[in-house]
Amino acid sequence: MSDHDEVRAVRELRAAVERLPREVRPARDLWPEIAGRLDERPRDQSAAGWWRLAAAVVLMAGGLFAATNLAPEARSPLLPVAAVAEAGSAMAAAHLRQRDGVLHAHNDLIAVAAQRRGRLDAVGAAALVAGLADLERATAEIEAALADSPRDRRLRLALAAAYRREAGWTSRLARV
Amino acid sequence: MRKTTLWTLAILFAAVAARAEQSVNATRSVAADATISIENVVGSLTIIGSDETELRVTGTMGDDVEELEISGDADELSIEVVIPDDDNWQGKRKVGADLEIRVPRGVSLEVESVSASIDISGVSGAIEAGSVSGAVTVAGGSSDVEVESVSGAVSVTGGSGSIVAESVSGAVVLEGVAGDIEATTVSGTIKVDAGAVDDVELESVAGSIYFKGRLTDGTLDIESHSGNVEVLLPADLGAEFELESFSGRIENAFGPAARRSDRYEPGVSVEFSTGSGSADVSIETFSGNIVLKKY
């Protein structure tokens, strides 16, 4: 190959490289597979600092309410929080402890509601428990998604909203 | 002889059963704009607004009801079905009361029950009604309505002004309503078929949300976690729209298709405006689908 040919080949190669797209869009949606793999690896422990704080605030509010309003004998078994418990990481364990506090407050409120009336019927009591489980499930889903995408601002906002929602419903249920 | 004995026993049993109910018939003078609070744990409450100038309570109460206590004055009256103060009455004692209460149309009501259903109609004053497992129904044009139930259905028909409805697992149904609307549920469905509305806030965790109504220059704000959202708005609506879902699907009849919000993460969203854009529509879900339609 002469020098002239080599220069021409290099120019053509460079031109070809410049014609390549800056981004390559996948032929199909790869997110489900990525999300599946993310689920398999340990959760990012560093990303959860601020919402641990949010959980702690909710916990403190719940604990304060429980301490000032609830009788000790009102305690009842915890609701299951399968999504959080299954995560298994150190972060999930720490978070689970915080969530335990919130759940204690929730369950105490159910017991208090029953005590106050002494007449809460089975349908209403079951609806309360199921409603709280739904709230827990929704929050756990957002927590799991945020653990996978810790920089997602919308998820952080959604989780904060979920904690507010739980706190709001907890206080509503206290009025029952 | 044996047949006669059986008949006698049957008649005696019927007589005892008949005694298991107390009939109620009471009247009180109340002001046209009085505040009336009513509490009945089990049974049913039917409250009817009328042009009469006095309050009338009729109906029946179980034999174990201690008394129907009516206290207060013409401006502030309280009606309570008093039942034994112990925890073991449920299913064992006859403490239910089925009452019909006629009130002047302009009174304000505060009504509370545990499993008793509450049915209110024709009252134009403010209404607050709550139950644990009983259904709560309000019809007939009150300006301010606040209703809630844990597992019972909540229904408001024809109100305007400010309407707030909450449930945990019961359905929330608002029909022919106008003004400001706020509906919240955990797992119950929300269905709103409204007239002209100003500001609307609908929120659900797992229940689906349906909204149809004429939005002029107010806001429609809908949030759902996993419940699907279906919204029907007038085809000529001028509004700014924001639709967003983390893992749900978005169908949009008013503007462009939703796109992935971030190249590396899931979630679709779309923002656009139509016409004058004087109203604001915001719909957000986590995993629920969003369907926005014209009518």
B196-225 pLDDT per residue, tens: 999 999 999 999 999 999 998 899 999 999
Quote the tokens at residue A52.
């641990």
B133: DSSP letter: S
Within chain A, which residues score under 50 in pLDDT?
Answer: 22, 24, 38, 41-49, 51, 53, 56, 59-94, 97, 117
Average pLDDT score over residue span B239-243: 95
Give me the pLDDT at residue B147, please: 95
Same domain, B281 and B199: yes
CA distance B11 to chain A (A): 34
**If you write DSSP's letter for every residue of chain A in order, what string do you get?**
--HHHHHHHHHHHHHHHHHS-SS---SS--HHHHHHHHHHSPPPSGGGHHHHHHHHHHHHHHHHHHHHH--GGG--PPPP-HHHHHH-SHHHHHHHHHHHHHHHHHHHHHHHHHHHHS---HHHHHHHHHHHHHHHHHHHHHHHHHHHSTT-HHHHHHHHHHHHHHHHHHHHHHT-
Contact B150 A152 (CB under 8 A): no
Q: Does residue B130 belong to any structural domain of this protein?
A: yes
Same domain, B46 and B84: yes
Contact B150 A138 (CB under 8 A): no
Give me the pLDDT at residue A48, please: 46
Give me the pLDDT at residue B227, please: 94
Give me the pLDDT at residue A151, please: 73
Instruction: For chain B, say whether A101 makes contact (Cβ under 8 Å).
Output: no
Cα separation, B209 vs B227, whole angstroms: 7
Contact B246 A154 (CB under 8 A): yes
Under a CB-based contact definition with an 8 Å cutoff, are residues B265 and A149 in contact? yes
For residue B184, which amino acid is it? Answer: T
Instruction: For chain B, say whether A119 makes contact (Cβ under 8 Å).
Output: yes
Give me the pLDDT at residue A6, please: 57
Alpha carbon B55 to chain centroid, angstroms:
24
Same domain, B144 and B42: yes
Cα separation, B239 vs B254, whole angstroms: 10
Give me the pLDDT at residue A88, please: 40
Cα separation, A56 vs A101, whole angstroms: 9
Percent of chain B with pLDDT over 90: 71
Same domain, B27 and B148: yes
Give me the pLDDT at residue A142, please: 85
Q: How many CB pairs under 8 A join A and B?
A: 92
Cα separation, B229 vs B221, whole angstroms: 11
Q: What is the mean pLDDT of chain B?
A: 89
| Cross-chain CB nearest to A128 (options B87, B150, B265) | B150
Under a CB-based contact definition with an 8 Å cutoff, are residues A110 and A76 in contact? yes
Contact B166 A172 (CB under 8 A): yes
- Bridge-based pairing of strands B144-149 and B162-167 is parallel
Q: Which of B65, B186, B260 is the best residue to mutate to test the A interface, defined by the most A CB atoms within 10 Å of its own CB?
A: B186
CA-CA distances (angstroms) from residue A137 to A45, A129, A163, B15?
Answer: 21, 12, 12, 53
Give chain A positions within 8 Å (CB) of B90: 119, 121
Under a CB-based contact definition with an 8 Å cutoff, are residues B116 and B129 in contact? no
| Cross-chain CB nearest to B87 (options A118, A121, A131) | A118
Residue of A nearest to B206 (CA): A134
Same domain, B179 and B225: yes
Same domain, B191 and B290: yes
Non-local (6+) Cβ contacts of B1 within 8 A are none
Contact B286 A119 (CB under 8 A): no
Average pLDDT score over residue span B263-290: 90
Q: Does residue B129 belong to any structural domain of this protein?
A: yes
Count of domains forming chain B: 2
Answer whether residue B228 shows pLDDT above 50: yes
Q: The complex's ipTM?
A: 0.70
B137-189 pLDDT per residue, tens: 999 877 899 999 988 999 999 988 899 999 989 999 999 999 999 999 999 99
Answer whether residue B63 shows pLDDT above 70: yes
Give chain A positions within 8 Å (CB) of B148: 172
| Cross-chain CB nearest to B168 (options A35, A131, A162) | A131
Interface of B with A (CB under 8 A): 41, 86-87, 89-90, 114-115, 132-133, 148, 150-151, 166, 168-170, 186-187, 203, 205-206, 223, 225-226, 244, 246-247, 261-263, 265-267, 286-287
Range of the domain at A116: 3-174
Q: Which of B67, B92, B101 is nearest to B82 (CA)?
A: B67
Q: Does residue B15 belong to any structural domain of this protein?
A: no
Quote the tokens at residue B68.
């129907």
Give me the pLDDT at residue B127, please: 96
Give me the pLDDT at residue A41, please: 44
Give me the pLDDT at residue B9, please: 53
Same domain, B134 and B190: no
Cα separation, A62 vs A78, whole angstroms: 15
Cα separation, B288 vs B245, whole angstroms: 7
Range of the domain at B178: 171-295
Instruction: For chain B, say whether A30 makes contact (Cβ under 8 Å).
Output: no
Under a CB-based contact definition with an 8 Å cutoff, are residues B131 and B153 in contact? no
Count of domains forming chain A: 1
Instruction: For chain B, say whether A126 makes contact (Cβ under 8 Å).
Output: yes
Give chain A positions within 8 Å (CB) of B153: none
Same domain, B32 and B96: yes
Instruction: For chain B, say whether A157 makes contact (Cβ under 8 Å).
Output: no
Give me the pLDDT at residue A31, please: 57
| Cross-chain CB nearest to A176 (options B150, B170, B225) | B150
Contact B168 A145 (CB under 8 A): no
> Is residue B59 left, alpha or beta, with left meaning phi > 0 and alpha meaning psi from -120 to 50?
left
Give chain A positions within 8 Å (CB) of B206: 134, 137-138
Residue of B nearest to A132 (CA): B186
